Amino acid sequence: MTGPTDEPDVAADDGAVPGELSDDVVGDVPDDVPGDGVARTDDGPDDGADFEGPRRRARREREERRAAQERATAIENARREAKRRVAGRPVDEPKPSARGLIRGLKALMWSALISVLVVGAGLLLYFTPIMSARVMAITGLVTLTQDEVEQAAAVPADTPLLQIDTDTVADRVATIRRVASARVQREYPSTLRITIVERVPVVVKDYPDGSHLFDRDGVDFATAPPPPGLPYLDADTPGPTDLPTLAALQVLTALRPEVASQVSRIAAPSVASITLTLFDGRQVIWGTTERTDEKALKLGALLTQPGTTYDLSSPDLPTVK
């Protein structure tokens, strides 16, 4: 037996550095040796910045296992979906969540409520005089009067605007001979607007009952004294379907304004023999309506030359006599 001061003999390995413990001795050093820098895993107080107790470690391990399980599930689902696509089978759609279903039901309810309100408002406006035609605004009047247009429109007072068929009213207004076109619009809350375009006389022809005015389309729209300077039309059966009439009107509308104002009469016995007579007595032999725009351009320069007859039947060789 040794004394209390005796130390156990420690065998040093060959080549060991004096003053250092061997690996075997280090491995037997107890964990609670003060001053070592190894992190402890016991339940004692957290003295280090990186200390992790058993509860924190268990929680971390659970989170890691959960994340690994979610990754494995996602990989398996992707593999199954890929196999379904390759096999041509339908892919399972994710089921809508309860929250999304509730949101969809709310949107459907609001849509139904709005639809009911819109329909109710429409019925109210359609069957009651809340928005009725109390004002008729007519624009585009030149020769016609407002009373003539209102009588042709035939819209009863205080008729709800929604009950008014605007196309039908426009057709009724267009039956007026002087009206070239008519447009009817509702202007809420209480106005019916009618916009018309009156026909403009281009030529005049004398009949036993008076002078008939024709517009650029050959429509006989009025029996009245012609405006000053309006050229007379010499055609057998003038009208919107008469070819010589349409040819004469095509020539007149192609002339430059300063030349058209000099024409007192246009004769169209046929499509191929159109002749213009100017106020000073000079004549223009036009011929057919071929190359009308070119002829109209050359006539302005040709009239500056002295003469009584200007032949444009051949625009390449115009002559003056």
pLDDT in tens, 274-317: 999 999 999 999 999 999 999 999 998 999 999 999 999 999 99
Tens of pLDDT, residues 217-254: 999 999 999 999 999 999 999 999 999 999 999 999 99
**Angle in degrees, CA 157, 175, 252, rounded to 5:** 140
Contact of 284 with 292, CB cutoff 8 Å: no
- pLDDT band, very low/low/confident/very high, at 109 (cuts 50, 70, 90): confident
Cα(155)–Cα(152) distance, integer angstroms: 9
What is the total residue count of the chain? 321
The model's pTM is 0.60
Q: pLDDT, tens digit, for every residue of 64-82?
A: 998 998 888 889 888 888 8
**Residue 138: how many CB atoms within 10 A of its CB?**
20
Position 3 confidence tier, pLDDT thresholds 50, 70, 90: very low
H or E segment to which residue 263 belongs: strand 263-267
The strand ranges marked E within 95-242 are 135-139, 179-187, 191-198, 203-207, 210-214, 220-223, 232-234
